[in-house]
Chains A and B, each alone.
Chain A
Amino acid sequence: AQKVTQAQTEISVVEKEDVTLDCVYETRDTTYYLFWYKQPPSGELVFLIRRNSFDEQNEISGRYSWNFQKSTSSFNFTITASQVVDSAVYFCALSRLNSGGSNYKLTFGKGTLLTVNP
């Protein structure tokens, strides 16, 4: 069975603070993909990043960075120097690789609401 846990339901920070959103996953598969999505107040989820289970390199994209650690089954997301526009719900998701048709499985965490105050 697959499971994604985002233990932080809500986080509130002041602008320019750094913030880390945690994601812990469970899977029996050796090959899988992890995703982060952002859902701003407008409601439309937006894809941020995809990572496969064989690539543990950390990734940085501007103020965003992701730390994938297979040893702890975590895929954490850090926003550096947060801004008000970062306020959103962030979802972590896990997909098994060898899934097609009826074998498909994508599991979302319950999301973390991030509020960045001016």
Chain B
Amino acid sequence: DVKVTQSSRYLVKRTGEKVFLECVQDMDHENMFWYRQDPGLGLRLIYFSYDVKMKEKGDIPEGYSVSREKKERFSLILESASTNQTSMYLCASSTGLAVYEQYFGPGTRLTVT
């Protein structure tokens, strides 16, 4: 079974803090993704990575950066957290980009106060 784990289920941070969200997958997948999920807006892609050290912007990359130093780990970084980044963050991985299903982690609910 594919397993995607995220470092925290719930996180509370203060405005201006640097925040790291970690995601690890154990199926040797090439591709990893970060989404945020907000009520009424569905899932929106922040960044994705199709290889180690390769990254691409998604639909809403502003205010975020990512790091992929190892194949199994994909980190989302909020350089200076703001209240409008309060959201549910979902990590996913897949064998391929277009035609393959994605496997999701349980999500991190981040609150920025």
Complex Cα spacing A47 to B100, Å: 10
Q: Which of B14-22, B36-44, B67-75, B77-85 lies on the face that meets chain A?
A: B36-44
Contact between chains at B50 and A100 (CB < 8 Å): yes
Residues of A within 8 A of B107 (CB): 43-44
Complex Cα spacing A106 to B46, Å: 12
Q: A43-B107, A44-B106, A104-B50 are in contact. Are A99 and B41 (CB under 8 A)?
A: no
Contact between chains at A102 and B105 (CB < 8 Å): no
Size of chain A's interface in residues, with CB distance under 8 A? 27
Contact between chains at B98 and A47 (CB < 8 Å): no
Residues of B within 8 A of A91 (CB): 42-43
Residues of A within 8 A of B98 (CB): 33, 95-100, 104, 106
Q: Which one of B43, B88, B97, B106 contacts A104 once the chains associate, using CB atoms below 8 Å?
A: B97
Q: Which one of A9, A47, A111 contacts B101 once the chains associate, using CB atoms below 8 Å?
A: A47
Complex Cα spacing A104 to B104, Å: 18
Q: Is A45 on the interface with B (CB-CB < 8 A)?
A: yes
Contact between chains at B106 and A110 (CB < 8 Å): no
Q: Is B86 on the interface with A (CB-CB < 8 A)?
A: no
Complex Cα spacing A90 to B40, Å: 13
Contact between chains at B43 and A108 (CB < 8 Å): yes
Q: A108-B42, A110-B42 are in contact. Are A50 and B99 (CB under 8 A)?
A: yes
Complex Cα spacing A47 to B2, Å: 12
Q: Is B65 on the interface with A (CB-CB < 8 A)?
A: no
* B contact set with A: CB distance below 8 Å: 40-45, 48, 50, 54, 56, 88, 90, 92, 97-107
| CB-defined A-B contacts under 8 Å, sample of 24 | A9-B40, A33-B98, A37-B104, A43-B106, A44-B105, A45-B92, A45-B102, A47-B102, A50-B100, A91-B43, A95-B98, A96-B98, A97-B99, A98-B98, A100-B50, A101-B50, A104-B56, A104-B97, A106-B45, A108-B42, A108-B44, A110-B40, A110-B41, A111-B43
* A contact set with B: CB distance below 8 Å: 9, 33, 35, 37, 42-47, 50, 52, 91, 95-102, 104, 106, 108-111
